[in-house]
Amino acid sequence: MPAYLIAEIDVADPQLYEEYRRRVPALIAEYGGRYLARGGALEVKEGDWTPKRLVLVEFASMEQARRFYESPAYAPLLALRRQATRSRLVLVEGA
C-alpha cells in the first residue's frame, strides 16, 4: 500500500533551503520515493488554509517512508530544512 509524505513549508532562509532542495531529491529516489508535487501553484477551495509551499512525495509503503525520514543519511538534511524553514510534515498511508 503506498504512503505519502506531505510537507507544508514556509521558507525563512531561501539560500539555505536551496541547498536542501538540491540535495534531497537523490536521497528520496534512493528510498524509492517520487515527487508528486513540489511547490506548484495552490488554489484554496475550502477553509482558510493557505500554505506557502506544499510538497507531496509518494513511497511504496509507510515503512519505506519511515525509513527515508528516519535514515541517518536524511538527518543532516532534516537539520538543514529545519534551520531554513518553518515546516509541518505528516506521513499518511494511501488507499
Residue 46, in any domain of the structure: no
pTM above 0.85, yes or no: yes
3-state secondary structure (DSSP) of residue 70? helix
- Report residue 52 as a C-alpha cell: 506557502
Q: How many domains does the chain have?
A: 1
**CATH number for the domain including 88?**
3.30.70.100
pLDDT tens-digit map of 1-51? 999 999 999 999 999 999 999 999 999 999 999 999 998 899 999 999 999
Range of the domain at 60: 3-41+51-93
Residues 6 or more apart whose CB falls under 8 angstroms from that of 4 comprise 36, 56, 57, 58, 59, 65, 91, 92, 94
